[in-house]
Amino acid sequence: MATQALVNPELLSWARYRSGLSDSALAKKLNVKIERIAQWELGDAKPTFKQAQSIAKYTHTPFGFLFLPKPPKEDPLPIPDLRTVERREVEQPSPELRDIITQVLKKQEWYKDYLISNELGSNPYVGSITLKTPINKAVSLMREALGVAVPIRGTWDDYQRDLIQGSENAGILVMRSGIVGNNTHRKLQVSEFRGFAITDEFAPVVFINSADAPPARLFTLIHELAHIWLGSSGISNLEPSNSTEEKYCNQVAGEFLVPESNLVEMWSEVESIATNCATIASRFHVSKLVVARRAADAGVISRVAYSDFYRAELEAFRNKEGVGGDFYRSAGAKNSILMSQAVISEARSGRLLLRDAGRLLGVSPSALKTYASKMSL
């Protein structure tokens, strides 16, 4: 008979809820009946030692935690949590959100030390505006710094590429990923967050959850950049918020991408939301989702209509999303080209061990040369 693990039933429930897994989802992963999960969490039965180890693995919980007398009190997130769900604060961040913030902070810390050791100055754009700065003025200052005009040709993808390059030229690290590290089983949930900004006078960072539909990421990018210009850090899901700061960043992002006056002028009452969004998106070379968001902000459509439209567009993206992709390009997006350049440069000079360079970039030391060539570094 397999050895039973004397785990605390309360900790089993805590671990499952913390990871966001339903009892049916965990049962499927463990290949047991859903009733068995209930028995374990009520204390009517005990999992085997091997099953307990699997529970820890699938819930991303340290194995020893399952034997504690009560759930541990986790530290608050290291940056402000500005997310809301129906105007209520989100209570429990997932292990994935905690871990991706930790990973980004480690990269930021290294890059900041790199800048200081090379006697490079602070970033002039961090904290250069306030909540009292008029929206149009903030948009003008940001567009000038990024060196990107309102597009007259191309696609949202071209526009996003130009904005990311402009951000990094302005000394702002832009990191994008839909998973934690290289673990494809640890996906970042769009329902939890869409991005965050970590402000620093030397090494400001914007992170974009690329599990979101690609066109929707454009709004997230400008929203998080607005946080950098304000000199504030925070996690956002871009839903309607009571936060003055979040409202301001949403207004900046919207006006940057689709000026309200143009949207109201072009919106047709006799056309459907989809038709209006497609027409205006084509004019401003942004996504239909950005236009729908602007229409909601301007009161042209309701929040409910926007949410329905967003879900339909996101589902359409997921249905046609391809499998896999180029590992090196994905790694480049996760690390930002700006940081990748610095790490590769330090490794080539011998000031940084290949082992440490690989650990920073999430690339094996033997693959760094290929990574550099793929990124044209």
Contact 129, 141 (CB under 8 A): yes
Q: Which residues of the chain have pLDDT under 50?
A: 85-88, 323
User: What is the per-residue pLDDT for 358?
Assistant: 92
User: What is the per-residue pLDDT for 297?
Assistant: 84
- Domain residue spans in the chain? 9-67, 84-257, 327-374
pLDDT tens digits along 8-63? 989 899 899 888 788 888 999 999 999 999 899 888 999 998 999 999 999 989 99
Contact 248, 142 (CB under 8 A): no
How far apart, in whole angstroms, are the C-alpha atoms of residue 242 and residue 234? 14
User: What is the per-residue pLDDT for 90?
Assistant: 54
Residues in the chain: 377
User: What is the per-residue pLDDT for 311?
Assistant: 83
Q: Tell me the sheet residues that pair with 187.
A: 179
Query: How far is CA 370 from its chain centroid?
Result: 27
Q: In this structure, what token pair is assigned to residue 1?
A: 């008979």
Q: How would you label 241-278 residue by residue, b for 16+ Cβ within 10 Å and e otherwise?
A: bebebbebbbbbbbbbbbbbeebeeebeeeeebeebbe
Contact 100, 207 (CB under 8 A): yes
Q: Cα(first)–Cα(last) distance of the chain, in Å?
A: 57
Residues in Cβ contact with 48 at an 8 Å cutoff, skipping those fewer than 6 apart: 2, 3, 4, 5
User: What is the per-residue pLDDT for 323?
Assistant: 46
Q: Tell me the sheet residues that pair with 208.
A: 176, 195
CATH value of 9-67 in 1.10.1380.10, 1.10.3720.10, 3.30.500.10, 1.10.260.40: 1.10.260.40
User: What is the per-residue pLDDT for 196?
Assistant: 95
pTM of the entire predicted model: 0.82
User: What is the per-residue pLDDT for 85?
Assistant: 46
